[in-house]
Structure 1
């Protein structure tokens, strides 16, 4: 009986419910919960931005009423740069949340490091994808308020990278045409010097060198100046990208354009689900100056 009671209490400690108004937020998501996430909406269109149609594409979601004053949201999934953890489908709950709030949303797929990505391919993918987004927004008159990037984990690294650096990291065309309003990192891995600590799996396909390239100053956001506001959200129970990652980035950048929030009891995977209440926090941060 004592063992039964202990097991029940351990379960309760792993799943935390928080009442907020009329909603009940549930925290404690694990990897298997994350892997089951998917969008309940069908995309309006799919756009390809490269020759590899299996990995170089964007799905576009358009709300019933378009408000051009709202920035377009581009979701960049995580997965520790590893196709084994997928990520594109699992970004679906974030897509649905922002679509429901009236945002035009793009879900971005890119080449993972274990299947031919890493440096420079993955970075080229993100750059080319955002050039495509900019073109679609202009052609379809979907938004005139720039792009809000939302990236999770390794996708957070890519989102903040995309909003940082100059001609040493990006083409002149990219810097001219891609108007990033802000970059949001959810459990983002911002210092590639810690990439193997956060994601030991990358040792399987070349380690940090495969992700960062020879010059980390061109690929690791903590070493790059940000061109747009960076907003970071971390869970207090995130064992992959703990709050210290955001704190270190904020200290290093020492900029009024960097802000971060730590969500009590949230895990790495809670950051990608509306059930946890984290996306409400993200929306509030995005709306703030």
Structure 2
């Protein structure tokens, strides 16, 4: 964890926490970015994936809220993982009051399975945190397709805990394709060389979002699946540019 990061729990489980990283020198953050890491919802992948992004964002003047949550294999799965993400986003409100952070520009930034969770969370009502937009980086936005393709050795079934024929409503509830329309704009980014999550996962969702009247854009960015969570790459720079666009602030 970066020296300037503060760990803030939002529940009793060891994985129910977020890390708040602020710009150095006491400068007011330009905007707040909620980082939702990926890893196909599996417990082997954790908030460590988001820490380099938080450090880089703070150096660019953002406040970063690196969100951890229970995953399949450590008390998570559906709906617990999604419930944690929602609770973790809501916990940003009291943390912002304590650390004097302006929440007028909050952007969800989710990668891979984190993109899936970010887009689903954007459809909620009643949250104390108002969102300016969502940036999905090669998000798993078409859950039905991901299951049919058997992505990551059956990650969707592992996450949902059953095949679709035994509980079709469970699959529908967890699928961003069925959470439309959304009240906030979404930028669906996808790596030009991504072989981990197919482009159709983003493009099919954007098509459905637009058909529902939701503001959504598909943008191709350079690099593979992991370049977009690697500071110093053109892919990560492109992600940050879109985060600025979503927040309505100039690109540095």
TM-score range, shorter chain: 0.7 to 0.9
Deviations 1:106-137 (A, max 9, x none): 11110011222111111110111111112211
2:50 counterpart of 1:50: no
Counterpart among 139, 146, 157 of residue 188 in structure 1: 139
Cα distance in 1 for partners of 2:103, 2:157 equals 42
Find the residue that maps to 2:242 and give its secondary structure: helix
TM-score scaled by length of structure 2: 0.85
Find the residue that maps to 1:139 and give its secondary structure: helix
Deviations 1:256-279 (A, max 9, x none): 621121124x11111111232122
Q: Flag structure 2 segments of 5+ consecutive residues without an equivalent.
A: none
2:73 counterpart of 1:117: no
Find the residue that maps to 1:115 and give its secondary structure: coil
**CA 1:149/1:206 → structure 2, altered by over 3 Å: closer, same or farther?**
closer
Are the counterparts in 2 of residues 81 and 114 from structure 1 also a CA contact under 8 Å?
A: no
Cα deviation for residue 77 of structure 1 reads: 0.6
Displacement over 6 Å in runs of 4+: 210-213
2:184 counterpart of 1:233: no
What is aligned with 2:227? Answer: 270
What is aligned with 1:249? Answer: 205
**CA 1:151/1:213 → structure 2, altered by over 3 Å: closer, same or farther?**
farther
2:27 counterpart of 1:72: no
| 101-110 or 143-152, which deviates more | 143-152
TM-score scaled by length of structure 1: 0.75
Cα distance in 1 for partners of 2:157, 2:200 equals 26
Are the counterparts in 2 of residues 222 and 252 from structure 1 also a CA contact under 8 Å?
A: yes
Are the counterparts in 1 of residues 189 and 221 from structure 2 also a CA contact under 8 Å?
A: yes
**CA 1:206/1:257 → structure 2, altered by over 3 Å: closer, same or farther?**
closer
**CA 1:100/1:146 → structure 2, altered by over 3 Å: closer, same or farther?**
same
**Would you say how many aligned residue pairs link Structure 1 and Structure 2?**
238
Q: Flag structure 1 segments of 5+ consecutive residues without an equivalent.
A: 1-38, 167-174
Cα distance in 2 for partners of 1:147, 1:217 equals 27
2:48 counterpart of 1:89: yes
| 212-221 or 112-121, which deviates more | 212-221
Cα deviation for residue 72 of structure 1 reads: 1.0
Deviations 1:38-79 (A, max 9, x none): x6x324311111110x210111111124325x3211111100
Cα distance in 1 for partners of 2:11, 2:67 equals 12
Counterpart among 99, 119, 131 of residue 140 in structure 1: 99
Cα distance in 1 for partners of 2:130, 2:156 equals 35
Cα distance in 1 for partners of 2:168, 2:22 equals 36
What is aligned with 1:199? Answer: 152
**CA 1:51/1:274 → structure 2, altered by over 3 Å: closer, same or farther?**
same
Q: Look at both structures and tell me which one has the larger radius of gyration over its CA atoms.
A: 1
Cα distance in 1 for partners of 2:220, 2:110 equals 16
